Amino acid sequence: MSAASPTPPPGPGAVVAAPPVDRQEEVLTEEALAFLAELHRRFTPCRDELLVRRAERRADIARTGTLDFLPETAAVRADDSWRVAPAPEALQDRRVEITGPTDRRMTVNALNSGARVWLADFEDASAPTWHNVVGGQLNLIDAFERRIDFTDPRSGKGYALKPAGELATVVVRPRGWHLDERHLTVDGRPVPGALVDFGLYFFHNARRLLELGRGPYFYLPKTESHREARLWNDVFVFAQERLGIERGTIRATVLIETITAAYEMEEILYELREHASGLNAGRWDYLFSIVKNFRDGGERFVLPDRNAVTMTAPFMRAYTELLVRTCHKRGAHAIGGMAAFIPSRRDAEVNKTAFEKVRADKDREAADGFDGSWVAHPDLVPIALESFDAVLGERPHQKDRLREDVSVTAAELIAVDSLDASPTYEGLRNAVAVGIRYIEAWLRGLGAVAIFNLMEDAATAEISRSQIWQWINAGVVLDSGETVTAELVRRLAAEELDAARAESGVEAFAAGRWQDAHDLLLRVALDKEYVDFLTLPAYEELRD
């Protein structure tokens, strides 16, 4: 399947259908809108086909109750000769990466954090209001031009960028293929958000970054197959040729955060091999994908409380070890999961306990062969650095550890019932509480939200509402003896709404989106038909 239409019809640039936001003319230039229109006309038809293929594959999983490595790509896996392109200097050392949205404060803090890489997020950590979409692009441009700062409204303290040599390397995460950008249309159709985020960033910054000794680097989210990776590669080739950038300048790290992609890691690297930089192992979206794809697979696919499913669970261990083995076999970086703890300002004991857990987690990843890992807060950067420094020393990575001892079967990747844990009443309550609290913030335009001392993003809400749906439909009996039913979930949701009102006060509660969040969580958790992505109906309720 070709990813590009062979002769896309000529036409005008993308049309903006949104109230103007400050300085948008600097981003939405006539040339940039024409570039987006070219991307849309060439690649959206293939994107549409691939979304249909996702649905077809999900139907196959429902019918067979299993997954396997692809027989048609066995030759790619068996060929030991190919490698991904060598990493550019700016991406050689990735031992600690910080993640976060592209608002002005986070842009300065992340670049100054001491992490080697900043995942500048237009996806799960960013609610796609028009202000966030355009403002995020402006903040990145301003950062590269060194004209960005911010003042803390609480302390009045001002923050500016450190010297260039001390700043993190920016790796942008665009939205997934499934989300459209309703404020930009071409030929009457909305442009995929992935092409908007990629296209605007690449158009405005590719040359600027090269002059700074960096490059246009990306994280690719929600990938479900090597065909989707092929589409991205074709987008990269076209974009570089169109703007006169040397082919292979772009580098992409793919998040292996869907269960189907876990069976196609080598193929994904192969399709992107001239642009590939590595693979990342994330937890919440991966678990969400397992529930989504095997939601009617019976008791053996019922996940326990989300916090009970750590990276040491047997099926998660199989996934992460296979990822390290695959990456190093092909010369790519293996990047580990998220430390999401947000330090408490008032409870030193809570911080001490959490820091110990973060350290143990990062020690494990470094010992397993990962080349780097994620944190959500600057205070966690030194902890993760210590773990990886202890293993790496002066080396930039440990790709020489081929992990040839690892052998993972298809069945081990979906052996959910190998975990000795069960759903609990408190786990259900937490899923409802976190789901409502996160959705309420998202509907107000916040994508990264501190909830119960953890930095949560859209993946959190996805796994929370998916587990509620799964537990209801599987008739799960909790440790309390109660069966999970719609009525029980409604009761817990009402209690959470009351708790939010009591915590925030009547006026703040009324000014928020609490009732909307409550109603949306119940809709996606209780409806008979499972919605593929929570953010699709949520986007319809997002105000600009």
Nearest to 273 by CA among 281, 285, 265, 263: 265
Alpha helices in 155-313 (DSSP H): 193-211, 226-243, 259-262, 265-271, 284-293
Would you call 130 exposed, middle or buried from its count of C-beta atoms within 10 A (0-12, 13-18, 19+)?
A: buried
Asked if 254 and 240 count as a contact pair (C-beta separation under 8 A), the reply is: no
CB atoms under 10 Å from CB of 314, counted, come to 14
What six digits make up the tokens of 87? Answer: 């990493």
Q: Is 68 noted as a catalytic residue in this protein?
A: no
Q: What is the DSSP string of 308-327?
A: G--TTSHHHHHHHHHHHHHH
Q: What are the distances in angstroms from CA 94 to CA 323, 397, 412, 515?
A: 16, 7, 29, 42
- List the catalytic residue out of 42, 54, 173, 437: 173
3-state secondary structure of 52: helix
> At residue 37, what is the residue type?
A
Tell me whether residue 211 is exposed, middle or buried, using C-beta atoms within 10 angstroms of its C-beta: 0 to 12, 13 to 18, 19 or more.
Answer: exposed
Quickly list H helices, 226-347: 226-243, 259-262, 265-271, 284-293, 314-329
Q: Is 457 a catalytic residue?
A: yes
Cβ–Cβ < 8 Å for 219, 175: no
Distance in angstroms (rounded) separating the CA atoms of residues 374 and 280: 9
Backbone angles phi, psi at 166, to 5 degrees: -100, 0
Candidate list 104, 142, 457, 513, residue with the active-site label: 457
Give catalytic residue positions: 173, 457
